[in-house]
Amino acid sequence: MPNVAWCQASSGEDAARSLPVVLDREKYDALFQYPPLRRRAAKLFLAIALFFVLLIALDHRFGEKMHLHPGKSLDLSHLEEYDLSPTFSYSQRIVKTVHDVNERKTLTFVNESLFASPPIQIWRGNLSTNVPVTMLPPLPLSIPSDHRSGTLRVPKKYDSAMFSFGVATSWERLADSIPQFSHWLGRSQAQLHALVPPDGEEKRAGVETAIRELEMNITITPSDLRFSLAYFSLVKHLYERRTQDTKWLVLIDDDTFIPSLTALAGHLSTNYDASTRKVVSALTDNFNQVHSWGLIPYGGGGIFVSVPLAAQISQPQVFDQCLQSGGGQGDGVLMECLMNWSEARPTYDPALNQMDIKGNPDGLFESGRRMLTTHHWKSWFHVDMHAVSRIWKACGEEGILMRFRFNDGIVLSNGYSIVEYGTTAEDLDFHAVELTWDGSKGEFLHRLGPIREAVPKDKKKTYRMRNTTVLEGGSVRQTYIHEAPIDDERPEERGEDSVLELVWLEHSV
């Protein structure tokens, strides 16, 4: 029994002198009187404790690099449709939607990196083969729940049947608008009435077929009134075709886009009393437009007329007088009618967006502010709102354009862009809108303030959303691309493009 003999010998004076100064003789004797099995257990416990201390220290030192998922092979052949540089950098992250009951914020901070660093380098000719990609573990992001995503944060009284929309347009523009209407009108209880010129009836069959296929409740009626008067006449047209559920008659343009009909219904029901004579609308973002057209309800952002107010305007003695005296734009005709025949005046809602801006609209779409309506997105500037909003299929409508800031200086404006600010992010006021479009700050402060100056291009790197694809199984892939600048004089010296992709897993309820 050599261990027992050693323990006995260890109880002598020589052994006591060899003890560390922190132990006295009594504690030492007690320690070495343990049976061998208990001594082994103590050593094992000590080894495990040291291992976890070392693991925590390494994690603190190297962070997320310890949690990389190595060697996942991806088919990137879908990137062949883009004219990417011969070699480009690539990163991907899987995102898991976690629905909560909190209010939507303009900025949500996430205390981790969005992508693994550094990105991998890919040769464009290898896209058809499986490319090994290293990425961080799936990222859970919290997003307020909504009705269409399956979680009833919005009560049933906010059903979309409260809306009856109206648009005055041409057959060509109506046909062109069907896909965008399908995002917010398809499979809803809302109805839309379109007034079109009497000529062009031969196009009706094709347009109505597309409407049926996309499950939209759209009624098309010919009108021989000039456009501005046809637009105003929508008030009476919608009033006469209202249902028992109709609360708001909504005048829009054919390029008005509604990212979330559910959010719009909740907002109107929470903030306004539809049982009174009420008109709610957008105000132009550009004060120069106010100088030109006045303080009118601007129709591109939507004009919401309550049923009691529509009843007043639709009286023959009122409507006919307004129709005869009307001049200018359709929303101007409505304003003139209100001033002459009603005490109701527009309430300008900041979540309704006329978007009278030209140039680069990044600052608005990267502001994180709720956009219940958007406008001019395919004329004054160009943003594919249908593609931007397609992410709702994975994260719900509240996630559209929701903004997340990560601890590595990256900001995601969901569906629109990913911007790398780096250390510059610490010096920015993200609650102010960045002035990226044409014009001076003073022209837009009344509607969009606070506003900050644009960040110089060399202080940020912007990846714009190029496509959003619904994948098999319900997940959604967003492709964001930063195109390296090309020197027109030396195009052969093109820089390296960069690609970032997010794959959102279908929301969990």
Q: pLDDT tens digits for 454-475?
A: 999 999 999 999 999 999 888 9
| Confidence label for 126 from pLDDT (cuts 50, 70 and 90) | confident
C-beta of residue 255 within 8 angstroms of C-beta of residue 323: no
Q: Please compute the mean of the pLDDT values over residues 358-371 and round it to a whole number.
A: 96
Tens digits of residue pLDDT in 153-172: 443 446 899 999 999 999 99
Structure tokens, 194: 């379109």
CATH superfamily membership of 156-348: Spore Coat Polysaccharide Biosynthesis Protein SpsA; Chain A (3.90.550.10)
Tell me if residue 390 falls in helix, strand or coil. coil
Q: Of 300 and 126, which is predicted with more confidence? A: 300
The sign of the CA dihedral 331, 337, 338, 340 is: positive
The sign of the CA dihedral 286, 288, 294, 299 is: negative
Q: Of 260 and 51, which is predicted with more confidence? A: 260
Q: Residue 23 has what pLDDT?
A: 43
Mean pLDDT of all residues in the chain?
Answer: 86
Give the rounded percent of residues in the chain with a pLDDT score beyond 90: 68
Number of helices (H) and strands (E) in the chain: give both, helices first: 16, 21
Domain residue extents for the chain? 2-63, 68-145+357-509, 156-348
Tens digits of residue pLDDT in 381-436: 999 999 999 999 899 888 999 999 999 999 999 999 999 998 889 999 999 999 99
Residue 54 CA, distance from chain mean position: 41
- Percent of residues in the chain assigned helix, strand, coil, to nearest 5: 35, 25, 35
Tens digits of residue pLDDT in 193-245: 999 999 888 889 899 999 999 999 999 999 999 999 999 999 999 999 999 99
Q: Residue 12 has what pLDDT?
A: 44
